[in-house]
Amino acid sequence: MAAIWEPESRFGIWLEIETLAAEGMEKLDIIPQGVSAAVRERAAFEVERIDEIEREVKHDVIAFLTNVAEHVGEEARFLHKGMTSSDVLDTCLNVQLVRAADLLLTGIDRVLAALEKRAFEHKLTPTIGRSHGIHAEPTTFGVKLATFHAEFQRCRARLVAAREEVATCAISGAVGTFANIDPRIEEYVAEKLGLEVEPVSTQVIPRDRHAMYFATLGVIASSIERLATEVRHLQRTEVLEAEEFFSAGQKGSSAMPHKRNPVLTENLTGLARLVRSAVTPALENVALWHERDISHSSVERGIGPDATVHLDFALHRLGGVIENLVVYPENMLSTLESMGGLHNSQRILLALVEKGVSREDSYRIVQRNAMKTWKKEGPLLDLLKKDPEVSERLSDDELEALFDLDYHFKHVDTIFQRVFGKS
């Protein structure tokens, strides 16, 4: 990802744009035949030389063209005819953002693949669902992962849309009127670059496109944060239902074997904040003055590489975390059972009601036993079996059935079908 933003890449894209534009102009007999061929044959550039020229002429595109001309010779003077610098700069930026999006899609796909694999692996691994950090009702670790898979599917679709937002090409000359360049050149270059024509540019490609792009990265970063936060919670000492993979040599602490810190997901949490920080400046970049000002430029030189590089790194780090996540199903089960079966109290209540007990009495009976379980006087099932008001209506078998975990998992197939298209 960093390579996309290197000067070599940028100038390489500039050269491609200028050459394609020359091809287009040749087809329309605007410049002599053979220019683009000469450029393709002999063009080269050196970053240091361009820098050197730029210090003199204080204009990056002119410096670049001058350096290219040193290699190409005479034909080079036909390059850039009727174009404005923004035609090159903005189309190049969009090419870079499109390439960045493609890499990010690869990262998302890795996360999706890891989530799917682990979700099916733990499709029926029981674990307690928690609302407000408090035990609620059972779910499975596979369902938990499915929620993230569905979320990253959405992120993928959003990124595809964001990629489309910036996949445009503008070769429209100063203030975008095509005064000195034929719109067919733009169409030609766009097609060759796999981009859409920008319907109307001022001088620049409108920055609402880029705002949407970076806003989308911010949303993806927030989804990363949700998954990272989940892992951090699962790894905390008191929970330890899952753990980031620790390599043999790696040590959290020299003597304390439990000191395995979720440093990767903590790092991801911080990276999410960083990526999100690109959203507001990108939004502030939209309202350029009149046909353009250059205030967007320093912002994009910062957030362009930063947000994409950080997000790319984060997605692959996240992929690795999920691929290698050490899951402790036995801990999940013991956590689930640690409340003595209290999470089934509502089912008991409903069962008593169905046996003809009034709702008020059922509530009183269940609550009485639940309080005992809460005070560690025994698992709820045991207490209920011993409670005459219960046992006269519900047999031990019936009671045990009410504590059956599978009851909660009967629709897991449906959920998997919806999320993964298979179950």
* Residue from 9, 122, 132, 297 carrying the catalytic annotation: 132
Contact call for residues 288 and 294 (beta carbons, < 8 A):
no
Residues 6+ apart with CB under 8 A from 111: 152, 315, 318, 319, 322
* Residue from 9, 122, 253, 345 carrying the catalytic annotation: 253
- For the CB of residue 296, give the shortest distance to a copy of itself in the complex, in Å: 6
Quick one: 104 or 370, whose CB is closer to a copy of itself? 370
Residue 4, both tokens: 């996309």
> Would you put residue 118 in left (φ > 0), alpha (ψ -120 to 50) or beta?
alpha
Contact call for residues 169 and 198 (beta carbons, < 8 A):
yes
Size of the site for a copy of itself (CB under 8 A): 138
Could you count the other beta carbons within 10 Å of the beta carbon of residue 339?
A: 18
The interface mask with a copy of itself, positions 53-72, x = CB under 8 A, is ---xxxx-------------
Quick one: which of 1, 27, 160, 277 contacts a copy of itself (CB under 8 A)?
A: 277
Burial 289-301 (b: 16+ CB within 10 A, else e): eeebeeebeebbe
- For the CB of residue 41, give the shortest distance to a copy of itself in the complex, in Å: 25
The interface mask with a copy of itself, positions 205-244, x = CB under 8 A, is -x-xx-xx--xx-xx-xxx-xx-xxx-xx-xxxxx-----
Q: Which of the stretches 21-29, 32-40, 107-115, 303-311 binds a copy of itself when contact is defined by CB under 8 A?
A: 303-311
**How do beta strands 134-140 and 126-131 pair?**
antiparallel
Quick one: which of 80, 99, 118, 158 contacts a copy of itself (CB under 8 A)?
A: 158
Residue 410 found at the interface with a copy of itself (CB under 8 A): yes
Q: What is the DSSP letter of 132?
A: T
Contact call for residues 241 and 327 (beta carbons, < 8 A):
yes
Q: Which of the stretches 10-18, 30-38, 42-50, 404-412 binds a copy of itself when contact is defined by CB under 8 A?
A: 404-412
Quick one: 9 or 261, whose CB is closer to a copy of itself? 261
The interface mask with a copy of itself, positions 241-260, x = CB under 8 A, is --------xxxx-xxxxxxx
What CA–CA distance (Å, rounded) separates 168 from 166?
Answer: 6
CA angle 366, 369, 374 (to 5 degrees): 115
The residue written with tokens 């981009």 in the block is 195
Q: How far is CA 21 from CA 99, 147, 169, in A?
A: 21, 47, 11
- For the CB of residue 12, give the shortest distance to a copy of itself in the complex, in Å: 25
Residue 383, both tokens: 């207490």
Residue 355 found at the interface with a copy of itself (CB under 8 A): no
What CA–CA distance (Å, rounded) separates 327 from 324?
Answer: 9
The interface mask with a copy of itself, positions 310-339, x = CB under 8 A, is x------------------------x--xx
Residue 16 found at the interface with a copy of itself (CB under 8 A): no
Q: Hey, what amino acid is at 162?
A: A
SS3 state at 68? helix
253 part of the active site: yes
Residue 296 found at the interface with a copy of itself (CB under 8 A): yes
What CA–CA distance (Å, rounded) separates 295 from 73?
Answer: 35
- For the CB of residue 88, give the shortest distance to a copy of itself in the complex, in Å: 15
Contact call for residues 268 and 318 (beta carbons, < 8 A):
yes
- For the CB of residue 73, give the shortest distance to a copy of itself in the complex, in Å: 16
Quick one: which of 16, 18, 151, 312 contacts a copy of itself (CB under 8 A)?
A: 151
Quick one: 3 or 256, whose CB is closer to a copy of itself? 256
Q: Hey, what amino acid is at 140?
A: T
The interface mask with a copy of itself, positions 70-99, x = CB under 8 A, is ------------------------------
Residue 401 found at the interface with a copy of itself (CB under 8 A): no
Residues labelled as active-site residues = 132, 253
